[in-house]
A and B are shown apart, each in its own frame.
Chain A
């Protein structure tokens, strides 16, 4: 992996990423570097391409040009099996949680372990499921169906599912959207706890200022498909630039 000046390791490097839907250019020469054990929050207006960015990273969308290096491998050059092995190191928390309605919490958590190149015994799987649920303080919901859970609990279960394979990078797509402020704060605290406990790196897509304030090490402002500004939260709130200020007012 690449070592930078601060002796940190770059786990994700995006160079000149472009993505358009017809005439609508969503990402335009976008660049980003994510270091180990760093949380970056990408701030942007609705429809600015934040979700498109992380869907390109995980391989759900194919960018038009540019490169996405994950652990020094360009994910756009990988075949299905190689991409799957990279994906196993990345957790993805969907905005809608994307829990499987027809499965219990246990089955939802076991689902990422179905990969053909992963072989755990039933005991190991049980331990991993319980551990992931304990991390989000919801061990008692193991045999419940997603529909029986509240919005905040569903978000936690989705987070537990992302954690089951101990990912090194976690991509959060608007983790606090649709939650009340208290539950939102709990999720933010959980994200920080996970980072500290497992040394993960995170890319958080959000327009929640609380999330930026408490969960970010660095902030990127995405405007017109480009990285318009970046820096620490404390620095950006003092910015005189009108376009930056509008996000913090």
Chain B
């Protein structure tokens, strides 16, 4: 009985989130266009996330290289470290880890911000003031997360590879040029394009879930906390599901 109830709640949530996503798709290209708010959100979501994304990216590349090295030495393929690290970062680790950090920082802040706006009647006040709050708050944020995450992933991948270069040079000496030549030689169009495209879906998922949870927040301040928390949890799970689907689709299309 309890299981049936949980399944019902889950299905209801999925249905409502899909409805929210559909509402976004039907509204985003209709006037009025909230360009100023979109640019503001791009600045907050993109530019202000850069230090955190950059730092974690750098550590990710450095640590991955250092931990990979002993095994590579055992197999006598130490020289292949830049190639393997490059593929791992560009295809999988860069997009997924960056998206997860993005979900933690941006998903929670969108959930909490819209949640607190909801419980303090600010969203109602916008509606009374003649502004469509869905377009002003939701559409601008989902578009900003969708377009900013790919940019952040590119920057994170670059910084991460720089971290990997430093990791290689802790024990060995490899020139900067040689490192990058090895990385780019190992990469093909089929590695870069699917990885890049899926980041748009990751960004969309983070924005959609954060906005949905915040916009439908209730039960006062407790509800705001729950919105922030569930925004991170649900969008993180969704990132893995999208990643799984992306791998299957690219495999089917012959990109692997």
Contact = CB atoms under 8 A, between A and B. Distances in A.
B129 interface: yes
Interface string B215-238: 000000000000000000000000
Interface stretch (A32-40, A93-101, A213-221): A93-101
Given A111-B126, A116-B32, A94 B131 contact: no
B256 interface: no
Nearest to B120: A96
Contacts of B116: 101
Contacts of A88: 130
A115 B129 CA distance: 8
Contacts of B173: none
B130 A94 contact: no
Nearest to B32: A116
A98 B124 CA distance: 8
A84 B117 CA distance: 21
Contacts of B120: 96, 98, 101
Given A94-B121, A96-B121, A58 B130 contact: no
B121 A87 contact: no
B128 interface: yes
Interface SS of chain B: helix, strand, loop or mixed?
helix
A60 interface: yes
A112 interface: yes
Contacts of B32: 116
A114 interface: yes
Contacts of A94: 121, 124-125
A94 B127 CA distance: 12
Contact of B125 (A98, A102, A116): A98
A112 B124 contact: no
A115 B128 CA distance: 11
Contact of B121 (A84, A95, A115, A116): A95
A121 B26 CA distance: 32
B122 interface: yes
A92 interface: yes
Contact of A112 (B113, B122, B130): B130
Interface string B60-101: 000000000000000000000000000000000000000000
Interface magnitude class on chain B: 10 to 19
A88 B129 CA distance: 7
Interface string A70-91: 0000000000000010011000
**Which secondary structure dominates where chain A touches chain B?**
loop
Contacts of A96: 120-121
B128 A87 contact: yes
Nearest to A171: B128
A25 to B, nearest CB: 21
Interface in B108-145: 113, 116-117, 120-122, 124-131
B128 A111 contact: no
Contacts of B131: 111, 114-115
B130 A60 contact: no
B44 to A, nearest CB: 10
Contact of B124 (A60, A99, A102, A114): A60
B40 to A, nearest CB: 9
A58 B128 contact: yes
B122 A98 contact: yes
A60 B122 contact: no
A100 B122 contact: yes
Nearest to A173: B121
Contacts of A95: 121
Contacts of B124: 55, 60, 94, 98
B87 to A, nearest CB: 42
Contact of A111 (B113, B117, B121, B129): B129
Contacts of A87: 128, 130
Nearest to B122: A98
B144 to A, nearest CB: 15
B23 to A, nearest CB: 15
A116 B127 CA distance: 14
Interface in B16-58: 32
Interface of B: 32, 113, 116-117, 120-122, 124-131
Interface of A: 55, 58, 60, 84, 87-88, 92, 94-96, 98-102, 111-112, 114-116
15 contacts: A60-B128, A87-B128, A88-B130, A92-B125, A94-B125, A96-B120, A96-B121, A98-B121, A100-B117, A101-B117, A102-B113, A111-B126, A112-B129, A115-B129, A115-B131
Given A94-B121, A99-B122, A101-B116, 7 more contacts: A55-B124, A60-B127, A88-B130, A96-B120, A100-B117, A100-B122, A115-B129
